[in-house]
């Protein structure tokens, strides 16, 4: 289990195998390489080390097959946030757990 934060520094949740879960245990994404796709198959973003970020052109052009999210796991205490990184041109911050 690897904990992940948004590019802006907010604790998002964790990666367990190829699954992305929020800190409260919801299964909200699946990894294909470093790219993350939601249950509806739409591109959500990508992992860069321990941070998640969304590439705007991939958001418009990428998708994968749909999947049915697994049941909710137990919740974990949310880790403290970090200082955010400077945003790259053509990117935006990964959606917050509450938005998914």
Rounded CA-CA distance 41/61 in Å is 12
* Contact (CB, 8 A) for 66 and 41: yes
User: Which residue did the predictor score with more confidence, 77 or 70?
Assistant: 70
The pLDDT assigned to 77 comes to 83
Q: pLDDT tier at 19 (50, 70, 90 boundaries)?
A: very high
* Contact (CB, 8 A) for 13 and 4: yes
Residue whose C-alpha is closest to residue 46's, from 29, 69, 23, 60: 29
- Please identify which residue in the block is written with the tokens 């418009």: 60
């Amino acid at each position: 289990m690897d904990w992940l934060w948004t590019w802006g520094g907010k604790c998002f949740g964790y990666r367990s195998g190829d699954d992305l879960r929020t800190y409260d245990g919801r299964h909200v994404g699946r990894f294909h390489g470093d790219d993350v796709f939601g249950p509806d198959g739409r591109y959500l973003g990508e992992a860069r080390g321990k941070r998640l970020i969304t590439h705007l052109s991939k958001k418009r052009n990428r998708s994968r097959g749909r999947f049915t999210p697994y049941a909710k796991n137990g919740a974990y205490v949310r880790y403290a946030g970090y200082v955010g990184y400077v945003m790259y041109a053509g990117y935006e911050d990964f959606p917050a757990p509450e938005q998914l």
